[in-house]
Amino acid sequence: MKVYLIDPINSRLLFLLKKMGVECLTKKEDFASSPHQILFSFFEQFDALIVEATQPTQEIMYLLAQAILQGKPTLCYYQKNREPRQLLGFLRRPEAKNIITKAYTRNTIENIVLSFINILSGTRRFKEKPTIRFTLRLTSAIERYLNWKIQGKDITKADFLREMVEKEINKDEKYQAELKKG
């Protein structure tokens, strides 16, 4: 997954996102230049936009306006008690349903971004593809249970096991804290 991150304030986010396996573009130089320059769309080069918008510049307003036009999933956060009211008035319109807005503090910013990435990962489009081969020997009792569990459902035993592990990952507070430590 690729995100365009515009946040000069919370620099740790870049490291956090990279640790999650998210590729971050942060400046124009990061974007590819196509030999057919006029064919290549800037907005096609990333999956989501993440913007710090406490004091939105003209460029940020423009990017957010384009994100709404393009339907690009966007997280727009601002410092708590410093709402950019005019901007939020635009972003809370029904046409801007692809934009999530959140107030943040130094303690909550990482959870907000993590939650956004998880939301994106939860959709079929952004779900990570399993690529690592892992051999697991089962007892016959476990195998019977798995066969019974997936009956009538359109998933495989492997899918079921992966979903179980992902639930554990999200529940594991120590592990989540470890991720945040960087």
> Among 49-57, 118-126, 141-149, 170-178, which window interacts with another protein (CB under 8 A)?
49-57
Instruction: Please report how many Cα atoms fall inside a 13 Å half-sphere around the Cα of residue 83, on the Cβ side.
Output: 11
Which H or E element spans position 173? Answer: helix 173-181
Which H or E element spans position 170? Answer: helix 157-171
| Minimum CB distance to another protein, residue 25 (Å) | 10
> Among 59-67, 99-107, 134-142, 154-162, which window interacts with another protein (CB under 8 A)?
59-67
9 interacts with another protein by CB under 8 A:
no
> Among 32-40, 97-105, 114-122, 131-139, which window interacts with another protein (CB under 8 A)?
32-40
Could you give the CA distance from residue 23 to residue 139 in angstroms, rounded to a whole number?
40
Task: Answer yes or no: are the C-beta atoms of 21 and 2 closer than 8 Å.
Answer: no
Interface contacts to another protein, rule CB under 8 A: 28, 31, 33, 37-44, 55-59, 61-66, 68-70, 87, 90, 93, 95
